[in-house]
Amino acid sequence: MIVGIIPGILIHFGIMEQYMNNAISVRTSEVQTQVRIIADHLLTYNYLHDNSNDVVNAELAQLSNLYDGRVLIIDSNLKIIKDTYGISEGKTIISEPIIRCFKGNGVSSNVTQNNFIEIVVPIEEKLVTELVKSTANVQNQSPRIVGVMLTSVSMDSIITSYEYLESRAYIIEILSAVILFGIAYFLSQRLLRPFEKITEAINEVKNGFTDEEIHVTEYIETEHIGDAFNQMMGRMKVLDDSRQEFVSNVSHELKTPLASMKVLADSLLAQEEVPNELYREFMTDIADEIDRENKIITDLLSLVKMTRTSADMNVEPMDINAILELMLKRLGPIAARANVQLIFESRRKVSAEVDEVKLTLALSNLVENGIKYNVDNGWVKVILDADHKYFTVEISDSGIGIPQEAIEHIYERFYRVDKSHSREIGGTGLGLAITRNAILMHRGSINVKSEEGNGTIFTVKIPLSYIAT
C-alpha cells in the first residue's frame, strides 16, 4: 500500500505545481492583453502629456480593481505620471525591468516575493518615415518607445483557488488511502488465510504428532506446499512407526537371552545338589546367551554408526585387493569349521577412496552370511572387478538361498528368513541392514539375486572416488 501511496503523493505535488504555473501563465496573458489595449489608448488620447482623460483613467482604475493590483504609467524620463494608488505620481522610478523595456526588450513579467505578478509593457509610438510618406507604404514603420506601463497583479485569488484545490486533494487522498488500506487489509486477510492454515498445521506438529492432512487448494502454491507437507508428515509417520518397531524389536531381542539366562540360573538355584555335568552344561548355555547378547549390542552400535551422516566417514585411498584378502584370511577359520571353501578372484588391481572399517564390516557380513547359510562342503566366492568409475564386489555362495517373497525384506532390521535356524547359528537380523547402510554411505549400491536351494549372489557397486554431500 505504501508503494502505491508514495507515487500518488508525488503526482499530487506535480499536478498542483503545474496548476499554479498554468494559473500564473493564464493570468499574465490576460493582463498583458488588456494592458496592450490600454497602451494604444494612451497614445490615442495623448495621455503621456495630459493624464486627465477620463476614459483612460476609468480603464486604468477598472484594470487595477479587477485584478486587485496597481498600475504605473512611466514616461521616457522615468517619471511616474500616473499611479492608480495615487501615492507615487511625479516620482522617478528606476528598476531593471523598466530599463530593459526602454531598451527594446519587449514585454516582461515576474512573480515578486509578496505574491504579485509584475508585468512591464512598453508604450510604442509608430513613426512614419519620409520614404514611407512619399511611397504611401504605411506598413513599413519603426516603433519608438515613449513610455512604460508597470502593472502589479495580486495572486491572492490564484493562491486561494490553489489552497482550496489542495485541501480537496488532501481529503481525496486521505479517503483514497483509507479505502486502499481497507481493500489491502481485506485482500491480505483473504490471501493469507491459506497460509495461516498451513502455519496452524505446522504449529500442531510442534505441539505433538498429528495424523491429519491439510488440503489448501486456494492457490497452486499453497496446494504444492500442502502436498509437500502431507508427504513430509507421511514420511515422519513412517519413521516414527519404524522407530517404535525398532525399539520393540531391540527390547525383544535383548530380553530373549536374558530370559534364557534367568531360566537357567533359576533351574540351578532350585536344585540343592547339582551334578557337575549339568552345572557345566547350564553355565555353557548361559555363556552362549551372554555372547549372543553381546553380539546383539555390538551390531546395534554398528547400525547406529551406519545411520549417521557422511561427516562420520573416514575416507582414504585404499588397496581394495588387500582389504578383501585380509578379510577372507580372518574369516578363514570360521569357513573351515563350517566346511565351506573361500574363493577369491581379482580381475584387476583396484584402488579406491573408502572407509576401510565400514567397507570391511559390510563385506564381512555378506561373506559370513554366505558361510552360515551354506551347505556342507559348500563354497563362497568373492570376485573383484572395476571400470573407469566404479569397482564391484560380487559375493556368491552355494547356500540354501532366499525365498523370493523374502528378498524385499532382507535389509530390514531384525528381519530373519528362518528365525529358528538363525538363532541356532547366532544371527541377529541386523547384519544386512548394517551392510546396506555402510554401502549407501559410500554412495554405492547393493543388489541381490537368489533362488531357494540354489545359492545367493550379492553385487556391491561403489564409486572409485568418494563424493561427499
Q: At what angle do helices 54-66 and 2-44 cross, to 10 degrees?
A: 170
Q: What is the pTM of this model?
A: 0.46
User: Could you give the CA distance from residue 125 to residue 137 in angstroms, rounded to a whole number?
Assistant: 17
Res 250: pLDDT: 62
Neighbours of 424 (CB within 10 A): 10
By the 10 Å C-beta count (0-12 exposed, 13-18 middle, 19+ buried), 92 is classed as exposed
Q: Is 251 within the bounds of a domain? A: no
Range of the domain at 446: 312-463
Q: Is 407 within the bounds of a domain? A: yes
Res 130: pLDDT: 43
For the residues of 266-302, what is the DSSP string, one character each? Answer: HHHHH-SS--HHHHHHHHHHHHHHHHHHHHHHHHHHH
In one-letter notation, the amino acid at residue 330 is R
Domain count, the chain: 2
Look-up: residue for cell 513613426?
A: 127
**Where does a domain end: 137, 161, 185?**
161
Look-up: residue for cell 489542495?
A: 166
Q: Is 295 within the bounds of a domain? A: no
CATH of the domain at 388: 3.30.565.10
Q: Is 205 within the bounds of a domain? A: no
Does residue 30 contact residue 121 with C-beta atoms inside 8 Å?
no
User: Could you give the CA distance from residue 429 to residue 295 in angstroms, rounded to a whole number?
Assistant: 11
Residues whose CB is less than 8 angstroms from the CB of residue 384 and which lie 6 or more positions away in sequence, other chains included: 320, 321, 324, 344, 345, 346, 347, 348, 350, 391, 392, 393
Per-residue cell: 198: 498451513
Q: Is 424 within the bounds of a domain? A: yes
Closest to 307 in 3D by CA, of 377, 371, 258, 358: 358
Name the H helices within 208-275.
Answer: 220-270
Q: Is 137 within the bounds of a domain? A: yes
> How far lies 226's CA from each of 193, 217, 271, in Å?
13, 8, 67
Closest to 365 in 3D by CA, of 417, 411, 318: 411
User: Could you give the CA distance from residue 402 to residue 448 in angstroms, rounded to a whole number?
Assistant: 10
Look-up: residue for cell 509578496?
A: 114
Q: Is 390 within the bounds of a domain? A: yes
**Where does a domain end: 134, 161, 188?**
161
User: Could you give the CA distance from residue 98 to residue 198 in angstroms, rounded to a whole number?
Assistant: 78
CATH of the domain at 156: 3.30.450.20
| Centroid of chain to Cα 424 | 58
Res 352: pLDDT: 94
Q: Is 210 within the bounds of a domain? A: no
User: Could you give the CA distance from residue 240 to residue 232 in angstroms, rounded to a whole number?
Assistant: 12
Does residue 300 contact residue 306 with C-beta atoms inside 8 Å?
no
**Where does a domain end: 146, 161, 176?**
161
**What are the pLDDT tens digits along the chain (469 aa)?**
555 556 666 676 778 888 888 988 988 898 989 998 998 898 888 888 888 888 889 998 998 898 888 999 999 899 999 999 989 888 998 888 889 888 888 888 888 878 889 999 999 887 544 444 444 454 555 678 899 999 999 888 888 888 888 888 888 888 888 888 888 888 877 777 777 777 777 777 766 656 667 777 777 777 777 788 778 877 777 767 666 766 665 665 566 667 777 877 887 787 777 788 877 887 887 887 787 677 667 766 766 666 555 456 788 999 999 999 999 999 998 899 999 999 999 999 999 999 888 898 889 889 999 998 999 999 999 999 999 999 999 999 999 998 888 888 888 766 666 554 444 445 556 778 888 888 988 899 999 999 888 899 999 999 999 876 6
Res 303: pLDDT: 62
Residues whose CB is less than 8 angstroms from the CB of residue 262 and which lie 6 or more positions away in sequence, other chains included: none
Strands 142-154 and 316-319 come out as unpaired
Residues whose CB is less than 8 angstroms from the CB of residue 289 and which lie 6 or more positions away in sequence, other chains included: 257, 258, 260, 261, 264
The b-or-e profile of 290-315 (16+ CB within 10 A means b, else e) is eebbeebeebbebbebbeeeeeebeb
User: Could you give the CA distance from residue 16 to residue 393 in angstroms, rounded to a whole number?
Assistant: 85
